[in-house]
């Protein structure tokens, strides 16, 4: 990747809805070579997709919780747990970590009652889970805006 590719990435992270013409103007290219570069970045897997950023409150998911989960440390338990997480739409992010806790989840639901139901009915019943700890998010201080591209 050269400086123009990096500039394309910066611009698209800031506004993924830019037209090719606008993007080309911002990075100092004509539209045709700009489109070729964007398509190549997509084919190479550098650009993995485009998404709308949705207000959680607007879709009834304004109650967010960070959940640390301990899972039995054997391959089958971890694989089963990770597969089960894919089937829970309330889990919007999940990370396997080195050390403790073994897993960190970000969950978005309507309210405390909905989270309690999820905790009781799903999280604590997942195969291999030995401990579930919850941290309710009071305020989001910094929103994800993309990766720093230099």
| pLDDT of the residue at 13 | 94
**Which residues, in sequence order, are CB contacts of 44 under 8 Å at separation 6+?**
none
Q: Provide the pLDDT for residue 150.
A: 84
List, in sequence order, every residue forming a beta bridge with 67; answer none if it has no partner.
Answer: 105, 134
- Whether residue 20 is predicted with pLDDT greater than 90 in this model: the reply is yes
Q: Average pLDDT, whole number, for the chain?
A: 95
Q: From edge to edge, which strands make up the β-sheet containing 63-71?
A: 91-96, 103-109, 63-71, 129-136
Give the mean model confidence (pLDDT) for residues 32-53: 96
| Share above pLDDT 90 across residues of the chain, in percent, rounded to a whole number | 92
Query: In this predicted structure, what is the pLDDT of residue 146?
Result: 86
| pTM for this entry | 0.85
| pLDDT for position 111 | 97
Mean pLDDT of 9-19: 95
- pLDDT in the model for residue 145: 83
Instruction: Please write the tens of the pLDDT for every residue from 51-100.
Output: 999 999 999 999 999 999 999 989 999 999 999 999 999 999 999 999 99
Chain centroid to Cα 58, Å, comes to 18
State the pLDDT at residue 141: 94
pLDDT the model gives residue 129: 96
Q: With 90 as the cut, is the pLDDT of residue 143 above it?
A: no
Contact 11, 147 (CB under 8 A): no
């Amino acid at each position: 990747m050269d400086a123009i590719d990096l500039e394309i990435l910066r611009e698209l992270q800031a506004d993924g809805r830019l037209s090719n013409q606008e993007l080309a103007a911002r990075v100092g290219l004509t539209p045709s070579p700009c489109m070729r570069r964007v398509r190549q970045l997509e084919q190479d897997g550098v650009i993995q997709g485009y998404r709308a950023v949705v207000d959680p409150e607007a879709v009834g998911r304004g109650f967010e919780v960070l959940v640390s989960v301990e899972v039995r440390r054997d391959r089958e338990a971890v694989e089963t747990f990770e597969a089960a997480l894919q089937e829970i739409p309330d889990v919007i992010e999940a990370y396997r970590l080195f050390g403790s806790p073994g897993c960190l989840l970000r969950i978005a639901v309507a309210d405390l009652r909905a989270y309690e139901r999820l905790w009781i009915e799903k999280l604590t019943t997942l195969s291999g889970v030995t401990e579930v700890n919850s941290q309710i998010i009071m305020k989001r201080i910094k929103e994800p805006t993309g990766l720093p591209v230099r």
